[in-house]
Amino acid sequence: MNNLWKTHEVNNQFDELTDYNLFATDTVMNEYLKQYNLENYISILQNTGAKLGTKESFEKGTRCNLLGPTLKAFDRKGNRIDQVEFHPDWHYFMSEAKKTGLISFPYENNQKGRWVFAAMNFILQSQVEPGALCPATMTQASIPLIQKEERLWDELKSKLLSREYDERDIPVKDKKSIWIGMGMTEKQGGSDVRSNTTIAKRSNILNTGYKEFLLTGHKWFFSAPMCDAHLVVAQIEDNGQLACFYVPRWKPNGDKNPIEIQRLKEKIGNNSNSSSEVEFKNAWGILIGEEGRGIPTIIEMATFTRLNCVLGATAIIRQATVQAYSYALKRMVFGKKLIDQPLMRSVLTELALENEAASITSLFLADNFENSDSSETAKAFRRTITPAAKYWICKKSIEVSAEAMEVFGGNGYVNDGIMARLFKEAPVNSIWEGSGNVMCLDVLRSIKKDPNDLKLVFDYLLEIAQKDSGLTNQIKVLKQWLQDNIETNFEAKARLFTEQLILIVQACLLLKHSPKEVFQAFYDTRLNSTKQGHFLGSNVLTPEVTTIVLSRIINH
């Protein structure tokens, strides 16, 4: 009887790719480590990639996004507790971020390649569940600031660098490891932190020996509220100067700090992670850095968080490209597999080019973060190219994830699949820590503040580009354009300059690290006058070059 009402056979339907090693299949990562004699990291990353790539791991990522956090403002007796409850799978990914050294490794030692290792670790984990990497990013970025506060660093060092996950909501002194969040933006200002109205009043209420303050005001985006402490920008009451404060969730005397969660944000993506609106009601905090130096202090932290925005966007590009390519290998359309359809090959080839360019740029930037204390050129790239890369790669991740979703058709446009999740996640990296316009303006500020930074960048690029006359000419043309335009309404042209700059950087890095066919394909479709179209897939390469580029998506 059941067979009588069986209306059809299900065929030509395929699940997203799982049960594969995210690291072992990544051509760019493996080549980069070998090129720079960093093979000692391969076995660790192999283990991480294998664990993250299991079907169970991807299912955990799906669950903790579909079943996101909930606010529990009061206990059953009516006491204010301001707790956020998470799905158990969220804690799994938080634990992995700690255990694998994603947060702590760059600060544990001076081992060569430590920042590249951390960057690869971040890209791998972010492909499966990026929400947990928001508190991981803020914690990692807070460490350089806290290191400058000798006494506070002595108290927190072991907890910040611990690889043990401690989810308990108790005072910092009683915890094995801790997380640090950020509280910067307010309703009236957003990225304009100088307009903040939260007031910090001097106090010595707990007699800790620190410069104590009581904060009153609000934060419009407070991420993530269950962190053990937050770095907060506020205006000092008696002099109006902005400063940065360390504000713990629990006061040193064991009382809960009066930071009240008003609500959790209903975000488009990043649903496993909690972002909140809060009010400070004489919340206790201590001064970090100098009075009047709140903005420079927080910008220093933002430099690190912006790198992780680039890494997160790279992870989205990587995972979207891998999933689209894998699906195209199996799906039959109009009598052929998708991968054999000429137009689909053009689309996938351009996804592959974006994947390789973003990956190389991310790892190169991580290397420059590691070497910026000893190299002026590395410092110049860190200051000038980090915001340029954040602007470009984060926006490219939105485009790539949308194109990759189309490969799946309607199956990609459902919330319980990874393609829709990648697409909805992509915009947050572009918005968080400064939107596109802010990034381009930061590039301009950097080159105006210290013109030598851009000179060092151009000198480095010209040294690479000497192998290719066309690329060399592109650099010279951009230098001349800058000279002609820097004094004439330059701010309005910031996006144009930033786009051309980062494309040249990516082309140079591909020339240095990738097969010549990959570089030439990127150059011809992004910089050369032979560029044919605007959307991904509208540029046609030879069948031979297409095959080479596609072969690099999944390392066999």
List the Cα angle 86/95/52 in 5-degree steps. 100
**pLDDT at residue 192, as a whole number:** 79
Least confident of 142-151, 393-402, 457-466, 482-491: 482-491
Higher pLDDT, 82 or 433: 82
Single residue among 105, 126, 160 that ends a domain in this structure = 160
**pLDDT at residue 294, as a whole number:** 87
- pLDDT higher than 70, residue 1: no
Same domain, 421 and 457: yes
The reply to whether the predicted model has a pTM over 0.85 is yes
168 inside domain: no
Q: What is the DSSP letter of 178?
A: -
CA distance linking residue 247 with residue 265, whole number of Å? 21
173 inside domain: no
Structure confidence by residue, pLDDT tens digits, 201-241 = 999 999 999 999 999 999 999 989 999 999 999 999 999 99
Same domain, 141 and 206: no
CA distance linking residue 422 with residue 405, whole number of Å? 9
Same domain, 429 and 543: yes
3-state secondary structure of 264: strand
How many Cα neighbours within 13 Å face the side chain of 80? 8
**pLDDT at residue 297, as a whole number:** 87
- pLDDT higher than 60, residue 344: yes
Same domain, 87 and 110: yes
Structure confidence by residue, pLDDT tens digits, 454-504 = 999 999 999 999 989 999 999 999 999 999 998 888 999 999 999 999 999
371 inside domain: yes
Q: Torsion angle, CA of 526/530/534/535, rounded to 10 degrees?
A: -80
How many Cα neighbours within 13 Å face the side chain of 290? 3
pLDDT band at 2 (very low <50, low <70, confident <90, very high): low
Q: Which residues neighbour 177 within 8 Å (Cβ) at sequence distance 6 or greater? A: 98, 159, 160, 162, 163, 164, 165, 166
Higher pLDDT, 71 or 195: 71
**pLDDT at residue 154, as a whole number:** 98
Mean pLDDT of 362-390: 97
Same domain, 373 and 516: yes
Single residue among 294, 312, 332 that ends a domain in this structure = 294
pLDDT band at 174 (very low <50, low <70, confident <90, very high): very high
Same domain, 90 and 191: no
**pLDDT at residue 6, as a whole number:** 85
Same domain, 272 and 183: yes
**pLDDT at residue 193, as a whole number:** 81
Same domain, 289 and 303: no
Q: Which residues neighbour 297 within 8 Å (Cβ) at sequence distance 6 or greater? A: 145, 243, 244, 288, 289, 290
165 inside domain: no
Find where tokens 């809060």 sit.
278
Q: Which residues neighbour 332 within 8 Å (Cβ) at sequence distance 6 or greater? A: 12, 338
224 inside domain: yes
Same domain, 386 and 524: yes
Total domain count, the chain: 3
CA distance linking residue 541 with residue 519, whole number of Å? 12
**pLDDT at residue 78, as a whole number:** 94
Single residue among 103, 131, 160 that ends a domain in this structure = 160
* Residue 445 burial (C-beta neighbours within 10 Å; 0-12, 13-18, 19+): middle
3 inside domain: no
Same domain, 392 and 486: yes
Cβ-contact 308, 141 below 8 angstroms: yes
**pLDDT at residue 114, as a whole number:** 98
- Domain of 190? 178-294
167 inside domain: no
253 inside domain: yes
pLDDT band at 298 (very low <50, low <70, confident <90, very high): confident
CA distance linking residue 267 with residue 431, whole number of Å? 12
- Quick count: other Cβ atoms within 10 Å of Cβ 155? 15
Residue 220's domain is classified under what CATH number? 2.40.110.20
Closest CA to 475 of 493, 454, 451: 454
Mean predicted lDDT score pLDDT of the chain: 95
Q: Which residues neighbour 480 within 8 Å (Cβ) at sequence distance 6 or greater? A: none
Mean pLDDT of 320-345: 95
Same domain, 186 and 285: yes
Please state, for a pLDDT cut of 90, what percent of the chain lies above it: 88
Closest CA to 533 of 350, 321, 395, 328: 350
* Residue 542 burial (C-beta neighbours within 10 Å; 0-12, 13-18, 19+): exposed
- pLDDT higher than 70, residue 26: yes
Cβ-contact 353, 525 below 8 angstroms: yes
**pLDDT at residue 295, as a whole number:** 86
Same domain, 522 and 380: yes
- pLDDT higher than 60, residue 27: yes
Higher pLDDT, 184 or 45: 45
Residue 424's domain is classified under what CATH number? 1.20.140.10
3-state secondary structure of 219: strand
